[in-house]
Amino acid sequence: MGHRIREFDAADTEAVVGLWKSCGLTQPWNDPRADIERKLKVQPELFLVAADTDSASIVGSAMAGYDGHRGWLYYLASDPSRRGERIGADLVAEAESRLRAMGCPKVQLMVRNENTGVLAFYEARGYADAEVHVLGKRLTGD
């Protein structure tokens, strides 16, 4: 089994939403399809998927963004049945490479408090606790 990293295509929507649900990344207050539509309007080249080399099925995703000051990673997911195949690592590496090419000096991400199991994955890739509080405010109802 293998995978290749490519840019998201609108035809991937349902597969990606299913992947996010299987990984516990969706929340009742976030409409994943609306998140996808928004991303396709801003830096769509930073929305990546990992596709199985044999079946072309979606086995991973990563959404990145760069605001001119910091880069961010969102919706990093890999098929739970394919963990250990470097899908997540390859997606992070490709997103970082694309951000670096845009002149991005630093990339950040958020991990939900209850998702402590993923911290070792990020630490192995050089990410560290930034010791900041992330505050948020909803501007839309979804």
Residues above pLDDT 70, as percent of the chain: 100
At residue 53, the pLDDT reads 95
Q: Which amino acid is at 138?
A: R
Entry pTM? 0.92
Per-residue pLDDT reduced to its tens digit, 65-77: 999 999 999 999 9
Domains in the chain, CATH or no CATH each? 3-123 (3.40.630.30)
Beta strand 47-52 with 58-66 is antiparallel
pLDDT over threshold 80, residue 1: no
Q: Residue 3's closest CA among 73, 66, 77, 72? A: 77
At residue 141, the pLDDT reads 76
